[in-house]
Amino acid sequence: MTRIAGLELSAAYHEQVVAPLLERGLPGLPHAAARLGSGSDVLGFDDEQSRDHDWGLRLTLLVEGGAAAEVDALLERELPATWRGLPTRFATTWDPVVRQRVEVASAGDFAASRVGIVPQRLVGAEPLELEDWLQLTGQAALEVTAGAVLHDGPGVLTAIRTRLAQYPEDVRRYAIGADWTRIGQELPDVGRAGLRGDEDGSAVIAARHVRTLLHLAHLLHRRWAPYGKWLARSAAALPGGDALRTAVLEVLGAPDWRTRQQTLAAAIEHVAATQGRVGLPTLDPATEAFFDRPHVGLRGLPELLAQEIVNPDVRALRPGIGTAEQISDHVSVLVDPALRRRLVGG
C-alpha cells in the first residue's frame, strides 16, 4: 500500500469498514470511535519504521451500558481478514494473540485503564482528587487526550478528554516549581564537575537539565509531555519550539564545560522568559553566580511560584518534589498506576 499516516488509516478504516459493520449488526448503537491509546501514530509521529510492530488497523470503540463484549464479538466475527492489504487481526507487543485490534470498552473504563483514575471520577460530577493529578503522567494522559476522535455520539469521551486536558492551575504551578527546583539543585554541578576535569560528568548533568527544561516547556504551554522517545520532538512543536530546540542543541553539542555552562544558562533564561510570556511570575535574569566560583546558580523561581498557589492542599505538599514522573523516570514505575500512587503518597 502507499504510505499513509496511522491516524488517516484509522479514520478510513472506521468510515469504510467498522462503522458500516456496526450499523448492520447493531443499528443505532450509541458509540464513540477514535484512535487513542499507545502508538506513535496517536501523537502523529509515525513513519515507515513504525510499521514493524503495533501499527496498522487499530481503533478505539467506546460503548456504554455493558455492550462492549457484544460489540467486540461482532467485530471479531465479521471483520474481513484484510483491508487495503493490511491484516485486521494481528499480535502486539503486549498481547501475542492474533485478534482484531479495535479496542472496545466503555469510555470510563478505557480512560481509567490508561490514566489510573477510577471511572466514577472520570465520568461523574465528582472532582478528581489531588493524588489523581499527582500520579498522572503526561504519556498516560496523552493516550486519552491525543489522537483523533472520529465520532462521539454519547459525548462521554469528549467530556473525559476535556477534564484531562491539563493540570488544575495550582497543581501546574506546583509541578513547574518542582522542575525549577530540580534544575537549581544541580545547575552549579555542570561547572563544578568540569572545573575538576570531568567533562563527561559535566555533560551528563547538563543533559539531565535539558530533559527537565523540555518537560518544563510542556507545562508552561499547558501541554502533556510524552515519554522520553518523543519528548524533544514534542517540545519542538510547542509555540516557540524552534528557538528552544536551538538552545538545547547548543548545550548538548558544547565542546567544553565553560561553553556548556554558558549555553545551559542561556537555555534557562529562554525558558524563564517563556514563563513570563505565558502569564506566570518569573525572574530576569533567572540565573546568578554561584558564590565566588565560576559557576551558574538558579535564582528563586521555585519560591516565586509557590507564593502563587492558593489551594491549601497543594500548598501543603512538600515543596519541590513534584508529580510521579518528576520523582522517577523508571518506565516500570511510570506505567503502573499503583506504583505511581505510592510515589506521591497514595
220-238 tens-digit pLDDT: 999 999 999 999 999 999 9
Count other C-beta atoms under 10 Å from residue 323's C-beta. Answer: 22
H-helix or E-strand containing 122?
helix 119-123
310: CB partners within 8 A, 6+ apart: 170
**Grid coordinates 486519552 are at which residue?**
144
Residue 89 lies in a domain: yes
Are 232 and 250 part of one and the same domain? yes
Residue ranges in the chain modelled with pLDDT below 70: 1-2, 47, 50-54, 346
Are 158 and 17 part of one and the same domain? yes
118-125: Cβ within 8 A, 24+ apart: 122/160, 122/163, 122/164, 123/156, 123/159, 123/160
Are 206 and 273 part of one and the same domain? yes
Q: Which residues pair with 127 in a beta bridge?
A: none
Are 61 and 183 part of one and the same domain? no
Count other C-beta atoms under 10 Å from residue 190's C-beta. Answer: 29
d(CA 131, CA 346): 7
Are 221 and 121 part of one and the same domain? no
43-97 tens-digit pLDDT: 988 767 766 666 789 999 999 999 999 999 999 999 999 999 999 988 888 788 8
Count other C-beta atoms under 10 Å from residue 82's C-beta. Answer: 11
Count other C-beta atoms under 10 Å from residue 96's C-beta. Answer: 7
Do 323 and 136 meet the contact criterion of CB atoms below 8 Å apart?
Answer: yes
Residue 261 lies in a domain: yes
The pTM score is 0.94
Are 155 and 179 part of one and the same domain? no
H-helix or E-strand containing 98?
strand 95-100
Instruction: Specify the pLDDT at position 2.
Output: 53
d(CA 235, CA 241): 6
By CB neighbour count within 10 A (0-12 exposed, 13-18 middle, 19+ buried), where does 175 fall? Answer: buried
Instruction: Specify the pLDDT at position 1.
Output: 47
Q: How many residues does the chain have?
A: 346
Q: How far is CA 341 from CA 55, 124, 134, 169, 267, in A?
A: 31, 21, 8, 20, 32
Residue 96 lies in a domain: yes
3 state DSSP class of 310:
coil
Instruction: Specify the pLDDT at position 46.
Output: 77
Final residue in a domain of this structure, among 163, 191, 224: 163
Instruction: Specify the pLDDT at position 92.
Output: 86
Number of alpha helices (DSSP H) and beta strands (DSSP E) in the chain? 18, 10
CA-closest candidate to residue 165, choices 123, 222, 108, 114: 222
Do 285 and 150 meet the contact criterion of CB atoms below 8 Å apart?
Answer: no
Residue 127 lies in a domain: yes
d(CA 289, CA 309): 28
Considering only the C-alpha atoms of the chain, give the largest distance between any 2 of them, rounded to a whole number of Å.
77
d(CA 17, CA 159): 26
Are 153 and 177 part of one and the same domain? no
Residue 202 lies in a domain: yes
**N-to-C CA span, the chain:** 48
Residue 1 lies in a domain: no
Final residue in a domain of this structure, among 109, 142, 163: 163
Please give the residue range of the domain that contains residue 116: 6-163
Are 128 and 221 part of one and the same domain? no
CA contacts within 13 A on the Cβ side of 119: 11
**Grid coordinates 500512587 are at which residue?**
341
d(CA 186, CA 175): 18
Are 155 and 200 part of one and the same domain? no
Final residue in a domain of this structure, among 163, 194, 217: 163
Are 94 and 152 part of one and the same domain? yes
CA-closest candidate to residue 175, choices 232, 125, 137: 137
Residue 199 lies in a domain: yes
Do 168 and 136 meet the contact criterion of CB atoms below 8 Å apart?
Answer: no
The torsion of the CA quartet 329, 273, 276, 238, rounded to 10 degrees, works out to -60
Are 101 and 174 part of one and the same domain? no
Residue 240 lies in a domain: yes
Are 157 and 211 part of one and the same domain? no
Identify the DSSP state of 328: -
**CA angle in degrees (0–180, nearest 5) for 243-245-246:** 65
Count of the separate structural domains present in the chain: 2
